[in-house]
Chain A
Amino acid sequence: MAFYADKDYTVDETVLQAAQKVMEGHLGLHWYEAKTERIAGRPSDPKRGLTYQDLNVGTYGYTDIPEDVRTSQSMVSRGSEKVGKLPDMGYVVNRKSDVWSDNVAELYEEVKARRWVPATDIPWTELHTKPLPHDLEMACAQLYTFLQECQIVSMDFPSKWVALINQDFLELKSWMCAQMLDASRLFEVFRKRALFGGAGLGRASATAEQGLKEWLWADQFPQGSVSINLTLAGFLLTLYRQVGAFAPTNVDRKIMRYAMQDGARQTAYGLGQLRYHLKHRPLEANAIEGYLEHTEHALLGLIGSPELLEPMIIICGGGLEKAQVDKGRIATAKFIRLAVREYMERIAAAGLAGHANRSKIPAMIDRISAAA
């Protein structure tokens, strides 16, 4: 795998002479008249600052990136002048419609503006001054264990693909970097919450992990993105909202409010990417439908995992007394229905209208949630 330079430069006279010439004051200035577009970018809204949208101009902009990027396989910045022999970085994703979303620059700017710090933005000491009853704290710890698993996979997906994507898609790659940090931050806050409450971690979920791995290991970026950025992220968004609504402590409510912001952005990218993909390559609709038909089952492995289901019932009900459990299972049944309904809405909005009629999931979920 290691790359070796085309020669041993320590004994290459031409290199030494070139350097020496310059250091003797004989500047070649071959770059001085670079054949690139002149631009003096400025913020269109000073309050917002200088955004990537402000620089979406001419050869520098992202709007005009062609569908097929054939002329650049190195890390040369989009719009700069290519000279000499440039290496091939081995990108395997070179089609815009495989990764792009119209909202990617906006989301990147938003994620930077809306950053937060788990160490200091959560009022952690409240967990100790107002501790929860034992069963409820155990349920929280289990839920947050499950959420850590989801974030490990959420971090792995963009990191797995980013180096394989053509550097011309700079804004998209930058967004993926932000996703990695978002996932890391969410993992961090979930871990801190689970451990600071005193119950320790719970049990990992075999069914959830099997499904998560199937999604993470998708063959192609668009498929993996649908699963991780739309299905998983959308499901987690609903989950954060649910836990936020039934939060047993102010700490949990605060965590979930931050989490839902991050989760909603990820979902927005997932929806936008699928939309862009299908708009520009409508023939891919069948392939995506086929993929979903094959892999959607993993959503059941997540939602029905006892490591999620049972703590959710306890948290929504407030405890293990019969009346609490009854309240909890009804609320959980509603959550399941809501999560799947919103998932199907997003898939339809992205361009797969009628998917809900073809999918096995809605009927199964109706049956399960009706049991409450």
Chain B
Amino acid sequence: MAYLSTTDFTQDKDFIDKWLYTIRTGEMDLSWMKSATEKISPAEANPRRGLTYRDLNVGTYGYTDIPEKVRNNRSYAPRGAEIPDGVPDAQPWVSRKSELWAFNTESYYEEAVSRQWNATTDIPWDRLDGVELPEVTGKALSQLMTFLTEVEMIATDTPAMWLPRLNPDFIEVRAFIAAQAMDEARHAEVFRKRALTTGWGLMQASPINEMALKHLRDADSFSEMSVALHLVAEGNVLTLFRFSEYLSPTDVDKKIFRLVMQDEARHVGYGMQHFKYVLEHFPEKREVLHAHLDEAENISFAGAAATELTEAFIILAGGGLKKENIDQGIKITTQFNLKQMQEHFERLDKCGMPERRDRSKLFMMYEMGRAAAEAAGIKLN
């Protein structure tokens, strides 16, 4: 599987001799000084924001003018550099812009870099001293954290798998994925750390959700991966974070969920923008994406059987295991489940796939669920 460069440099006499000559005499070729590359004069649009990728969106260096099909660069040369003969083929699988582009990608990346936080020091762990949650709450919280730490790193592994397959000309998308990888490692970390501070440790794995992770991982294309991961899965998780913040039993947990939801919203933002871009610029993909969503939603159905998560949520929402707690917990969990589905279809609508409602079994279930909830007096805003 290993690649061998076209030259063994220890045997390349011309190469070594030229090098020796340059060091010995100072005579240089300097042909790189005549590179046929563009000279630009960028400026910081906003000095408070500093120098951003958007400021460098100029001419051949910019992302706006990346063509739909990148034909001229398959090497490791940075976009806009002169590409000499003899560079290797980096073997990118994705050289088509509409396969991965999203409006504002560069902004999501810059935001990610400036808003990195540290699970070690930015969470006030010391405020847990002396906090003793009731056993039922502590265990439910640990179970929720166990689920979250289990699933977070799929959003590292999966996009990271694609990163080296993307043509290096797509700098901003690659950068966004690198930032997402770090975001998700941090999420896995903070949830694991919280579980291990509760007094209960980690709880039970979630086999049904593991199946969802496998589906996310094994997508056929970048777009399919992104729709399932950024839009569907992370969209669902963003709603979960918002509800979890609302239900948090301590201010430490509130802080955790506030910080993770910032990151998650960025990922969902990219997912939405990419989905829009694909549908506008690569319309042939629409049916492919419908088919992928069919399976993603099939697995969402399966998620209903992930009772270890649902039950933990009910307990946290209701505050205990007495009948009145469970009743209250079910009410809130119902609102949460419906909200997840509602927002899922809202996102698909907004991105240009309103017809999804008509063909989605999940939407049918949402409508039935909503009607049943309303009949039971549970309102969804």
Contacts and interface: CB of A to CB of B under 8 A. Distances in A.
Classify A-B as touching or not with yes or no (CB < 8 A): yes
A201 B61 CA distance: 9
Nearest to B333: A23
A206 interface: yes
Interface string A200-219: 11111111011111101111
B249 to A, nearest CB: 15
Contacts of A153: 76
Contacts of A217: 1-3
Interface stretch (B94-102, B158-166, B347-355): B158-166
Interface residues of B, number: 149
Contacts of A328: 26
A68 interface: no
Interface stretch (B28-36, B230-238, B266-274, B278-286): B28-36
A162 B157 contact: yes
A301 B310 contact: no
Contact of A210 (B6, B149, B197, B333): B6
A24 to B, nearest CB: 8
A184 B80 CA distance: 17
Given A41-B196, A79-B201, A87-B213, A27 B23 contact: no
A219 B1 CA distance: 6
A43 B213 contact: no
Task: Name the residue among B7, B182, B214, B312 with the largest chain A CB count within 10 angstroms.
Answer: B182
A199 B185 CA distance: 38
B78 A214 contact: no
A51 B157 CA distance: 22
A30 B189 contact: no
A149 B23 contact: no
Contact of A333 (B23, B78, B153, B168): B23
B105 to A, nearest CB: 13
A364 B157 contact: no
Interface in B291-338: 292, 295, 297-299, 301-302, 304-305, 307-308, 310-312, 314-315, 321, 323, 326-327, 330, 333-334
Contacts of B192: 55, 77, 170
Contacts of A82: 205
A371 B24 contact: yes
Interface stretch (A12-20, A229-237, A261-269, A270-278): A12-20
A81 to B, nearest CB: 5
Given A177-B184, A304-B15, A75 B151 contact: yes
Contact of B4 (A40, A135, A199, A214): A214
Contacts of B200: 36, 38-39
Contacts of B58: 195
B215 interface: yes
B82 A204 contact: yes
A25 B199 contact: no
A180 B124 CA distance: 27
A34 to B, nearest CB: 4
Contacts of B203: 31, 34, 36, 80-81
Interface string B352-381: 000000000110000000000000000000
B25 to A, nearest CB: 8
B301 A12 contact: yes
Given A52-B189, A80-B202, A163 B160 contact: yes
A162 B26 contact: no
A367 interface: yes
A138 interface: yes
Interface string A85-106: 1110110000000000000000
Nearest to A32: B139
B120 interface: yes
A27 B10 contact: no
Q: Which of A6, A85, A122, A162 is most buried by chain B, counting CB atoms within 10 A of its CB?
A: A162
B81 A203 contact: yes
Contact of A112 (B18, B120, B139): B120
B296 to A, nearest CB: 10
A152 B75 CA distance: 10
A124 B49 CA distance: 11
Contacts of B120: 48-51, 109, 112-113
A368 B9 contact: no
Interface stretch (A239-247, A282-290, A307-315, A347-355): A307-315
Given A119-B110, A201-B61, A298-B5, A148 B50 contact: no
Given A177-B182, A195-B56, A3 B75 contact: no
Contact of B78 (A149, A218, A360): A149
A36 B128 CA distance: 21
Contact of A119 (B28, B51, B185): B51
Given A117-B113, A184-B174, A213-B76, A87 B38 contact: no
Contact of A213 (B3, B85, B207, B214): B3
Nearest to A217: B3
Contacts of A32: 139
5 contacts: A2-B292, A4-B295, A80-B150, A159-B181, A214-B3
Given A4-B215, A28-B307, A177-B181, 12 more contacts: A5-B215, A10-B301, A77-B146, A119-B114, A177-B156, A195-B40, A198-B39, A201-B81, A209-B87, A210-B86, A298-B9, A304-B15
